[in-house]
Amino acid sequence: MRPYVARGGPQALRPLLLLTVLFVWTLAAGWTAIICAQWLTLYAHETGPRLPDGSPYGRDFLQFVYVADAWQTGTLDRLYDRKTQIAALRRLGQPADDYPLILRYNYPPFFAWLPRVLGGLTYRAAYVAWLSLQLGFLLLAVAAWRRELADRPALFWLLVALVVVSPFVPFNLIIGQTGFIGLAALSWACRFLRTGRDLAAGLCIATLLYKPPLGIVIGPLLLLKRRWRVVGGVAVGATGLLLLSLLVSVRALVDYPAAVRAFSQEMATEQYGLYNLQYDLLSFVTVSMDDRLPRCLGRIVRLIPAPHGASGVENGVFHSSCSFASLSLFAALAVITVMALVLAWRDPSRTARPRKNGVTDARLATLVLGTLLLSPYLFFYDTVLLAVAGVYTLRTLPARPAAHAWLVLAFTAVAFVWIGGLTQAPNLLPVRLQLATLAFLSWLWLEAVVAAKDARA
């Protein structure tokens, strides 16, 4: 780990930094061990599909069992039909009658090919097979990191050691989520962008369409930077995914946009506490200041209609209005985030030539961090994408001041401790505040400043 603290700092502080890294690792390992022990103890004795508390075995994994069942029963045409989904999910998961089954399948039609492999398996066998697939995507991401840090093996193993003990890994596995798919796609996309392999980068970016909010930053950046070869790769990949969707079901493809809109309306109106489990700017303001903000934004963008006319007034009460302070804070944080991205990706002059090796490391780190902040629909398990930002921060950290190492370590510690899983994260402050979001924003600005200095060099 010596390269991690090389240069820039007093010699006496280097052992202290190493000890602090070890302390953060031990803290994360202890917390993750507790999570894994509880998970393995329960799941090893249960065969599914229902757990003793009345919840489905694997929780979110139930939606992929539903897709596999749709393949088996030939009901793919009704894949996004709300009544069909609820009936099938209750039949397959057998949750308790009073269990709030808010789960919905909202992945694009082409994604249905992946759960197809679960057809014909028992519930627990399907769960194990699905986790094996997800671990395969995690290893695929690690392979990209190994190549990016090939000349810095100590930093690579440091990153792997931190990821292994991070709570993001069991969070994805316990509920059978798909965060590792986005991790693998984004890891390889960033590698190809950095090395100038634009077409391959575009194909990897197209894979992110399995969860469209992941493209909220990288899509506009590609257009603004006129990376047409990358855009072409995205177009080719998207065309292939469209054909796969048509092979699943034409009707499902037609119904998909309406299903996404209906789910978005649900998120804006009936939140079920889900914003406690997200760490973007919208959830930060919603949790800390005003839980009416999502509904208010839904009205502004006309995602949901105003009740009793355009005013949204019923008996003199504004049911959809949020406070001006919360709306202003959200807008200010969004502007601050966009400013950091502009600072990082702006070329010092119009005549400046792009780097021969593609995109710089710090710019790629800001891309990932900006995505986590601006996306309106990324949950706690999606924060595993922080590992990609870590890769490109570590690539330049040895040449930066020692203070940067301390700051990145602090951001990592906050993410490990204050990102909740199936329950809200602990809060030791007198007010409800998502510290992880502030850590992401601070890390973003740190990398933006480094990227701006690198562009002027």
Question: pLDDT digits over 341-382, tens only?
Answer: 999 998 875 544 445 445 789 999 999 999 999 998 888 899
Residue 234: inside a domain, yes or no? yes
Residue with tokens 């693998």: 184
Number of structural domains found in the chain: 1
Instruction: Write out the DSSP string of 322-374.
Output: --HHHHHHHHHHHHHHHHHHHHHH--SSTTPPPPTT-S-HHHHHHHHHHHHHH
Whole-number pLDDT of residue 13: 59
Q: Does residue 321 surpass a pLDDT of 80?
A: no
421, 417, 131: which is closest to 276 by C-alpha?
Answer: 421
Residue 338: inside a domain, yes or no? yes
269 half-sphere exposure, CB direction, 13 A CA radius:
14
Average pLDDT over residues 432-450: 91
Whole-number pLDDT of residue 420: 60
Residue 252: inside a domain, yes or no? yes
What does the alpha-carbon distance between residue 107 and residue 385 come to, in Å, rounded to a whole number?
Answer: 19
Residue 303: inside a domain, yes or no? no
Residue range(s) defining the domain that contains residue 91: 2-263+327-348+359-451
pLDDT band at residue 32 using 50, 70 and 90 as cut-offs: confident
Average pLDDT over residues 57-74: 93
Contact 67, 108 (CB under 8 A): no
Whole-number pLDDT of residue 349: 59
Whole-number pLDDT of residue 4: 44
Residue 291: inside a domain, yes or no? no
Look up the pTM and report it: 0.90
Residue 268: inside a domain, yes or no? no
Question: pLDDT digits over 175-192, tens only?
Answer: 999 999 999 999 999 999
Q: Which residue has the higher pLDDT, 316 or 60?
A: 60
Residue 419: inside a domain, yes or no? yes
206 half-sphere exposure, CB direction, 13 A CA radius:
21
Q: Does residue 421 surpass a pLDDT of 70?
A: no
Residue 292: inside a domain, yes or no? no
